[in-house]
Copies of this chain bind each other. A is one copy, B any other.
Amino acid sequence: MTAGLSCRFLLAQLNFNVGDLKGNEEKINSVCDYAQKSHVDIIIFPEMAISGYPIKDLIFDRDFLESELKSLTNIAQNFPDLTIILGGFGQEKNPNHHPRYQNNAYILADGKIQSSIAKRLTPTYDVFDEKRYFWSGTDFTPITLHKLNIGIAICEDLWDHDYQLDVASKLVQNGANFIVSINGSPYHIQKQKTRETLINEKAAKHKIPIIYLNAVGGQDELVFDGRSFVCNSNGEIILRAPFCRESLMVLDYNLQTEDFSYIPASKLPKHRSLLNSINKNTLNDLLLPDLNSDLIPENAISDLFSIEEEICSALTLNLRDYFVKTGVFSQIVVGLSGGIDSAFTAYIASKAIGSERVTALLMPSKYSSSGSIDDSILLCQNLGIKYYILPITDSHAFLRKQFDEILEIPGTEYYEDLADQNLQSRLRGLFLMYYANKYQALLVSTGNKSEIATGYCTLYGDTNGGKNVPGDLYKTQLYKVVSWINREEEIIPSAIITKPPSAELKENQKDEDNLPPYPLLDEILQLRIDEGYSPREIIAMGKDPELVRRIEEMYTRAEFKRAQLAQTIKINKKTFGSGRKIPVLKRSFY
């Protein structure tokens, strides 16, 4: 025990399940048990750890709050000698009011719920809906724990650049000499840079150390990427947790020298029961073969990743969590077209749950090049995944013939029209779902962001699936990521990367027949969607007005498709999904 001279913290960067109070309680208990054996004074869990985050309208389930408080009380009673800072939601003060709850940091100590602090800034933009659920806290009093006056912040509380309220300053004014921030901060590309810049500046400005603890895990379209960190009162990073991996990190803070010292795994006790409990339901065993060594990093500061490595790790985590946490699937199935999108998706699926649990269907039509099949077979061999070849040529012809006869459609007139192209895509979708239903497989869809933005996809066809993997990656981003994947050996066959993109749904079809070239298209889409510029502004930047208008029309018209797509995974700033609330029925004012 370090009482008196220093305070030992355990940062629990863990993966919790939305709604799963019992499972989350059990996990927290295991880690607290480990903390106690490791002489920890204060253990910190992420925002809304006990309930999972974001729980959205589940919060209105009438028995949820009571059950949550019971879980918190149980935990507190189990560990009377430990101080636990833990996120959860709080009691309604004015039962009839909108909104009803608060987003709290609970302090569990002395065997009870000692106090709670409510989040003051409740984000309500992009993927955040917090004003629907939470009224804002107004208490800025630090809490004295182990001789530290700890100002507690909850996520947005420190992201104050768009608000009039400066929470950090208020905490310091009220006597805080240490800040602990608990977070459920979702990933987008290189977000960690923004986080560290923001927090380090606050630390340096106020001459105060800050512990920033983030959750990890995939939840619907979000990835909580972890990357918890600590900066000292000079605003220097002295600890950085791994990306997209559960981690426990122990560090001592000397109250006199105000220095931190990190305790690596090798200097901490080993506990297999802890790991077993953490691994359960999160398939961490794929990541964490050894005892403590992968869960408790040896180094205090883990390296930042390249953009490409970030993207692969984030997608892998989200897909794995979807697969494991739903608990109903025995394998993943993916349709391979011979193109880069589906090849990349198969790669991520293999990484997520192991290639032995992934199956590919290859479904050539009479428009498919022989290369498409050969390339896909090579890919399957490289990844070590099972595949079946199921030509759709005969069934396509059979269905067409029956249908055209009954509707008296002249056979050749419309031959390669949109209806016929969609029919092929839907026939493949139907086979994939047949396989999925037969073998309890999760079908993953493979459409990229450029396609989804322009509607260059077939509803109930190639869009079928419980999870879309590359749907927040523009085609040009995909090429870069695939190049990174192939950095040491050719995992994704080069023929797949170099061939001109084609849906292969009619003779000699190329994506560029219907879409602008991807580099041009993606640049304009990114300005429009992720950066939020208007078409007028994009034209004013010097882009071709005709092209901007054509892309805008495709983008707007495809809204009805996006309303029915599988959830994708957030990578860029603005992701199709819950963070983008666009009416389906609308007209443009342009």
Interface residues of A in 509-561 (CB under 8 A from B): 532-534, 536-537, 557, 560
Residues of B within 8 A of A269 (CB): none
- A573 close to B (CB within 8 Å): no
- Establish whether residues A124 and B98, one from each chain, have CB atoms under 8 Å apart when the complex forms: yes
Which of B17, B52, B434, B582 sits near A56, CB closer than 8 Å?
B582
- A19 close to B (CB within 8 Å): yes
How does the 8 Å CB contact mask read for A34-60 relative to B, with 1 for contact and 0 for none? 000000000000000001101111101
Which of B64, B132, B409, B578 sits near A124, CB closer than 8 Å?
B132
- Establish whether residues A422 and B433, one from each chain, have CB atoms under 8 Å apart when the complex forms: yes
- Establish whether residues B399 and A430, one from each chain, have CB atoms under 8 Å apart when the complex forms: yes
- Establish whether residues A163 and B97, one from each chain, have CB atoms under 8 Å apart when the complex forms: yes
- Establish whether residues A19 and B589, one from each chain, have CB atoms under 8 Å apart when the complex forms: yes
Per the bound structure, the CA–CA distance linking A564 and B322 in Å amounts to: 16
- A338 close to B (CB within 8 Å): no
- Establish whether residues A414 and B395, one from each chain, have CB atoms under 8 Å apart when the complex forms: no
Interface residues of A in 1-38 (CB under 8 A from B): 17-23
Residues of B within 8 A of A438 (CB): 407, 409, 414, 417, 419
- A321 close to B (CB within 8 Å): yes
Interface residues of A in 78-105 (CB under 8 A from B): 94, 96-99
Residue of B nearest to A130 (CB): B131
Which of B52, B129, B426, B567 sits near A586, CB closer than 8 Å?
B52
How does the 8 Å CB contact mask read for A571-590 relative to B, with 1 for contact and 0 for none? 00000001011111111111
- A563 close to B (CB within 8 Å): yes
Which of B51, B220, B388, B585 sits near A584, CB closer than 8 Å?
B220
Residues of B within 8 A of A17 (CB): 586-587
| Number of this chain's copies in the complex | 2
- Establish whether residues B587 and A567, one from each chain, have CB atoms under 8 Å apart when the complex forms: no
How close is A323's CB to chain B, nearest CB, in angstroms?
A: 10
Q: A61-B534, A62-B537, A423-B434 are in contact. Are A97 and B162 (CB under 8 A)?
A: yes
- Establish whether residues B434 and A403, one from each chain, have CB atoms under 8 Å apart when the complex forms: yes
Residues of B within 8 A of A403 (CB): 390, 431, 434
Instruction: Sort chain A's interface into a size bin.
Output: 35 or more
Per the bound structure, the CA–CA distance linking A352 and B475 in Å amounts to: 41
Interface residues of A in 379-417 (CB under 8 A from B): 388-390, 394-395, 398-399, 402-403, 406-407, 409, 414, 417
Residues of B within 8 A of A276 (CB): none
Interface residues of A in 160-178 (CB under 8 A from B): 161-164
Which of B54, B325, B566, B580 sits near A564, CB closer than 8 Å?
B566
Per the bound structure, the CA–CA distance linking A466 and B563 in Å amounts to: 10
Residues of B within 8 A of A94 (CB): 164
Residues of B within 8 A of A590 (CB): 63
Residues of B within 8 A of A56 (CB): 581-583
- Establish whether residues B583 and A54, one from each chain, have CB atoms under 8 Å apart when the complex forms: yes
Residues of B within 8 A of A586 (CB): 17-20, 52, 55, 58
- Establish whether residues B433 and A585, one from each chain, have CB atoms under 8 Å apart when the complex forms: no
Per the bound structure, the CA–CA distance linking A423 and B57 in Å amounts to: 33
14 contacts between A and B (CB under 8 A): A18-B583, A23-B587, A57-B581, A58-B583, A98-B125, A99-B125, A129-B581, A389-B406, A390-B402, A395-B395, A399-B431, A419-B434, A423-B434, A460-B460
Extra A-B contacts (5), CB below 8 Å, given A20-B587, A395-B395, A422-B437: A19-B588, A124-B131, A423-B430, A426-B430, A563-B567
